Copies of this chain bind each other. A is one copy, B any other.
């Protein structure tokens, strides 16, 4: 059960436990049998017997798949394949607590990139109602009375609304998860930095401008973030 990757360097020897192996075998099983959500799996005892391991080990592997939402279990009925919430599983590890500084910065960049590309979907799907709501959020922000915590909340509300306006639910949830990372890094700013282009300016562009205008506007709005990249 040892695994030495024969490359240039000596890599870490990783020991696979039975639970690891069973997890892999179960994934292969799902793939090979091309099981779709709703299809049912053999019962725990059968799996254990087939693989020649204790039910205990099987349950540890199943517990993982269950957590990810790949399978669902019910007493007496047994187990069925399910469609996992892909963002939910992402969320399980995306905690600034665990993540090293480098990755945090990279995730931050990822967000900036998304924000620029957003214009595409935004101009495809924006509605009058959405723009009105966005404007309401933008107007709440008073540049002078800068309570730091409020500023961040408003920032989140505005950009969150933008993501929601794309009509892409997955994208919206992705941003939701990136928020803690974003918040963490912004909280390091001592002085609140206001971009040359305000939220209200962006709303105006959405009303009367073009996709390209919006991209440029967003770039200006996030200028102080981009300028920190190197």
Question: How near does chain B come to A180, taking the closest CB pair, in angstroms?
Answer: 12
A83 interfacial contact with B, CB 8 Å: yes
Measured CA separation A94–B100 after assembly (Å): 23
The listed residue with most B CB atoms (<10 A of its CB), out of A37, A63, A174, A212, is A63
Q: Which A93-119 residues have C-beta < 8 A from chain B?
A: 93-95, 97-100, 102-103, 106-107, 109-110, 112-119
A84 interfacial contact with B, CB 8 Å: yes
Closest residue on chain B to residue A177 by CB atoms: B86
| A residues with CB within 8 A of B | 19, 23, 30-31, 34, 36-37, 56, 59-61, 63-64, 67-70, 81, 83-84, 86, 89-90, 92-95, 97-100, 102-103, 106-107, 109-110, 112-121, 124, 166, 168-171, 174, 212, 215, 219, 226, 229-230
Interchain CB contact under 8 A, B83 and A100 = yes
Interchain CB contact under 8 A, B69 and A170 = no
Interchain CB contact under 8 A, A117 and B124 = no
As for how many copies of this chain the complex holds, the number is 2
The listed residue with most B CB atoms (<10 A of its CB), out of A92, A166, A226, A229, is A92
Interchain CB contact under 8 A, A114 and B112 = no
Question: How near does chain B come to A168, taking the closest CB pair, in angstroms?
Answer: 5
Measured CA separation A89–B95 after assembly (Å): 13
Interchain CB contact under 8 A, A19 and B113 = no
Measured CA separation A230–B120 after assembly (Å): 11
Question: How near does chain B come to A35, taking the closest CB pair, in angstroms?
Answer: 8
Question: How near does chain B come to A192, taking the closest CB pair, in angstroms?
Answer: 23
Interchain CB contact under 8 A, B106 and A113 = no
Query: Quick one: which of B67, B171, B219 contacts A106, CB cutoff 8 A?
Result: B171
Question: How near does chain B come to A120, taking the closest CB pair, in angstroms?
Answer: 6
Residues of B within 8 A of A124 (CB): 229-230
